[in-house]
A = this chain, B = another copy of it.
Amino acid sequence: MSRHELEACKRCDARHQGLCDALHDDDLHFLSDAAHRSAIAKGEVFVTEGNPARNFFNINQGAAKLYMDLADGRRQITGFVGVGDFVGLAAGTRYAFSAEAIEPVQLCRFDRIELRAVSARFPVIERRLLEIASHELVIAQEQMLLLGRKTAIERVASFLEGWYRRTLCADPGAPLDLPMLRGDLAEYLGLTIETVSRVLASLRRQGVVAVAADHRISILDHARLAAIGQTFA
Residue of B nearest to A136 (CB): B137
Residues of B within 8 A of A175 (CB): none
SS class, residues of chain A in contact with chain B: helix
A3 on the interface (CB 8 Å rule)?
A: no
A35 to B140, CA, bound (A): 28
0 or 1 for each of A131-143: is its CB under 8 Å from B? (1 = yes):
0011111101111
Contact between chains at A148 and B90 (CB < 8 Å): no
Give, as a whole number of angstroms, the nearest-CB distance from A188 to chain B: 8
Contact between chains at B138 and A71 (CB < 8 Å): no
Interface segment, A39-47, A74-82, A162-170, A200-208?
A74-82
Contacting B at CB under 8 A, from A147-199, are 147-150, 187, 189-190
Contact between chains at A230 and B70 (CB < 8 Å): yes
Give the one of A74, A141, A145, A148 with max B CB within 10 A. Answer: A148
Contact between chains at A96 and B141 (CB < 8 Å): yes
Interface segment, A4-12, A13-21, A102-110, A119-127?
A119-127
Given known A-B contacts A89-B137, A92-B135, A68 and B126 have beta carbons under 8 A apart: no
Residues of B within 8 A of A134 (CB): 89-92, 133
**8 A-B contacts (beta carbon < 8 Å):** A68-B145, A76-B144, A89-B130, A89-B134, A133-B137, A137-B140, A144-B147, A147-B147
